[in-house]
Amino acid sequence: MKKIIVTGCNGQLGRAVNALYENSNEYELVNTDFGVEGVRDLDISDLDSVVSFVNDVKPYAIINCAAMTAVDMCEVKKDMAYSINAIGPRNLAIASTEAGAKLVHISTDYVFGGDGTVPYREFDKTGPRSMYGHTKLAGEEFVKSFADRYFIIRTAWLYGDGKNFVKTMLRLSESHDEVTVVDDQIGSPTSSYELANAIGSLVPTMNYGTFHGTCDGSCSWAEFTEEIFRLAGKKTAVKKVTSEEYKALNPASADRPKFSVLENYMFSLTGGYAFADWHDAIDRYIGEMNQKGQIG
């Protein structure tokens, strides 16, 4: 069995990756996280710990799902954000090279400035606006510098098994007749199920490089919320506001990209994974929540 180390195994993507490989006869997952009961504790910001652990496991691949994704918190705890989002990937890159393992590193649409109108391709110039974006871009650069065989996948607006925007909106709908949501930030809601499948399609290949990995199509956060409520049968109204209006209500919030739609150009060029349309993906997700009795 080929071993795959999964960091951040208890997050939305980590859980989706575990579901993907659950019945695999070829791969064995070695799950790690930080402060999670029942799995190996691994601080990816500690180089010696990472190198020792990777050399001990001797993995075929490492899938790095660990990240500090709290965008507003990154503005406040900058050192922590750099430690997790930049130094962590650097350490995993160094360890993967020493062990001869492939590295899958997950990045974000926030590496772009978000001031365009055309979907970003992998070859476009980056220009993050937030500390989260800066730290994630630094992580990408470290991976490129120190990993021999890597896949960097930039994704966006992720939802899956865990805390996410979809569940937050559904929870608010239980106690609110109206929710206020930004309508001028455009992106591509992406299912962790789809992203995990894309990762699984790359792992056995030599199709190395930087990829964009999001569901097809785009919408605003407000439009996404309306679709969530429609599929879940909720009557809650969506009050659409601008980013500036939202910022006035929440002064501590960090700047978000206005337009961060990613084109999965590298997957297209290399005959790789074809993501589902975002409408179909959220329909599947809401359907699964209904089946599990998770929607009131």
Q: Which of 41, 75, 150 is nearest to 105 (CA)?
A: 150
* Annotated catalytic residue 27: no
Catalytic: which of 132, 193, 273, 285?
A: 132
Within the chain, residue ranges assigned H as helices are 12-20, 47-57, 71-76, 78-82, 88-99, 131-146, 165-173, 192-202, 221-232, 243-249, 265-269, 278-291
State how far the Cα of 91 lies from the Cα of 8, in Å rounded to an integer.
15
State how far the Cα of 265 lies from the Cα of 60, in Å rounded to an integer.
27
Total Cβ atoms within 10 A of residue 179: 17
Which residue do the tokens 């239980």 mark?
174
Q: What is the CA radius of gyration of the chain?
A: 19
State how far the Cα of 194 lies from the Cα of 20, in Å rounded to an integer.
10
Instruction: Give catalytic residue positions.
Output: 132
